[in-house]
Structure 1
Amino acid sequence: MNYQFDFSSVLTGVYGSYFLTGVRTTFLLFVICWFLAFALGIVLVTLGRIKFWPLNFLVRFYVEYHRNVPLLVQLLFWYFAIPQIFPSVITDWINLRNSEFVYAMIALSLYSSSYISENIRSGLRAIPPVQFEAAEAMGFSQFGTMIWIIIPQAWRHALPALIGDSIGLFKGTAIASVIGVAELTYQTEQIESATFRVFEVFTLASLVYLSVTIPMMILGDYAGRRFAIRSSR
């Protein structure tokens, strides 16, 4: 083997700054999307429990669309198709604020919220129905019951699955490179094109992803075992 490994060439100078920029953008995109997806997931679960069939239909359609259409298609739809129907004032406002990042953020948040809502909904099944009745008897509204009583309990049962959703979202940020978001995968490809150090740059990128996903996976396994033990008791 005649290949000479040289990691320093892709970690120093301008290429090192590119790599760090990619890491920061990936984490920023992940954190923003996680909070948006989690908030929207709670809203979806709450709306889905309201006994009004047109609303229930819309919630189910939303969830099934985002769970069954490939994320890449959804991302490209937001980036290329949706701006065509927006008023020009909105399109111009988004274009002045890093439109690639904004549309990637929207697509990833909507996509992840559908999975989060389903896992929270599964966690609700572990809550005894009597708690809903007790909350209603105490004067809580349906929305208040969900927010203050039911969801704080349900998320513990859904936690392992929610951590899995978080892992999927973190890995999913890589797809934003398709529309030019300068996250880790995009910057890795740019460095590789300039240096031809394929092994080095993709090894480093893989290590960054693994340094986040493996601890999250261990946390999810721990949470699953801990709450399974509590449930059995």
Structure 2
Amino acid sequence: MDYHWDWQFFFQETDDGLKYYEWVVSGLGWTTAVSLASLAVALLLGSVLGVMRTTPKRWLVAVGDTYVDVFRNVPLIVQLFLWFFVVPELVPQQMGIWMKQDLPYFVTAVVGLGLYTAARIAEQVRSGINSLPRGQRFAGLALGFTEWQTYRYVRLPMAYRIVLPALTSEAMNIFKNSAVTYAVGILELYFQYKQIIEKTSQVLEITIVVTLAYFILAFVMNRLLAFVEKRTRVPGLITGTGGK
């Protein structure tokens, strides 16, 4: 293949006075920020939905099931476009104008990615709670806990430990899924990747660098949660492999 390798182009100045490697660093920063903020939203909402789907109240189960069915079966990029283009047209006019003109793109991206991932985490949390012996709930109630206190102090702490490997996969995926947020104006890593290719045509160099960047982000998250899994593993209940 007749390809001219040129790694030094990363240190060339761009039209805005920055160097190309600074574009990569900036994109990496936005990718990390969007991913971590979305993960926080997804963990919080996904946990609530997972609990709702295991309660004795049928209407809560129905709400949780409907949410999961809708958000898991609509592609992420379509959901982002809905939040970015459609929702501002459905709300009152003044709010719609504010959403289109003043609401940071970052917020839209975090909401879209967070709500999408929450549906997946809700399924993991529900599975973890349902895998626990029913006697744990009855023991909590016998101690005088309310239904919600049994979740808070008894069932959820155990459920999280059981599903932590699955949550690790979701945490890693959220960094990769964040690439889609370029479609709503976030100057994240994939956006910068496309920009650099258009400006320089050095496809192989920037592809290798961006691939390594995504790998490092996902790998660091994997190792961090593997450490948490190892420290919180319940002997005799969970056979973990993440710490190996």
Is the pair's TM-score, using the shorter chain for normalization, greater than 0.5? yes
Question: Mapping of 1:94-133 within 5 angstroms?
Answer: 94=99, 95-98=101-104, 100-133=105-138
Could you give the per-residue CA deviations for residues 210-230 of structure 1, whole angstroms, max 9, x where no partner exists?
112234456677859x95973
Q: 1:221 to 1:32 in 2, by over 3 A?
A: closer
Counterpart check, 1:25 vs 2:30? yes
1:205 corresponds to: 210
* Distance (Å, rounded) in 1 between the aligned partners of 2:142 and 2:234: 30
2:10 corresponds to: 10
Give the AA of the match of 1:187: Q
1:160 corresponds to: 165
Q: CA deviation at 1:178?
A: 1.5
* Distance (Å, rounded) in 1 between the aligned partners of 2:195 and 2:164: 37
* Distance (Å, rounded) in 2 between the aligned partners of 1:84 and 1:19: 34
Q: Is the 1:11–1:19 Cα contact (8 Å) retained in structure 2?
A: no
Q: 1:232 to 1:120 in 2, by over 3 A?
A: closer
Q: List alignment gaps of at least 5 residues for structure 2.
A: 240-244
* Distance (Å, rounded) in 2 between the aligned partners of 1:156 and 1:145: 16
Q: Is the 2:50–2:122 Cα contact (8 Å) retained in structure 1?
A: yes
1:148 corresponds to: 153
Give the SS at the match of 1:150. helix
Give the SS at the match of 1:5. coil
Give the AA of the match of 2:201: F
1:41 corresponds to: 46
TM-score normalized with structure 1 length: 0.89
Picking from 42, 57, 81, the partner of 2:62 is 57
Q: Is the 1:10–1:191 Cα contact (8 Å) retained in structure 2?
A: no
Q: Is the 2:50–2:124 Cα contact (8 Å) retained in structure 1?
A: no
* Distance (Å, rounded) in 2 between the aligned partners of 1:115 and 1:90: 30
TM-score normalized with structure 2 length: 0.85
Give the AA of the match of 1:127: L
Q: CA deviation at 1:110?
A: 0.7
Could you give the per-residue CA deviations for residues 13-43 of structure 1, whole angstroms, max 9, x where no partner exists?
4222221111000000011001110000111
* Distance (Å, rounded) in 2 between the aligned partners of 1:165 and 1:24: 20
1:231 corresponds to: 237
Aligned residues: 231
2:242 corresponds to: none
* Distance (Å, rounded) in 2 between the aligned partners of 1:175 and 1:232: 35
Give the AA of the match of 1:147: R
Which structure is richer in relative contact order (CA contacts within 8 A, separation 6 or more)? 1
Give the AA of the match of 1:8: Q
Q: Is the 2:121–2:167 Cα contact (8 Å) retained in structure 1?
A: yes
Alignment RMSD = 2.3
Q: CA deviation at 1:91?
A: 3.1
2:198 corresponds to: 193
Question: Mapping of 1:172-183 within 5 angstroms?
Answer: 172-183=177-188
Q: Is the 1:67–1:111 Cα contact (8 Å) retained in structure 2?
A: yes
* Distance (Å, rounded) in 1 between the aligned partners of 2:103 and 2:197: 28
* Distance (Å, rounded) in 2 between the aligned partners of 1:88 and 1:68: 30
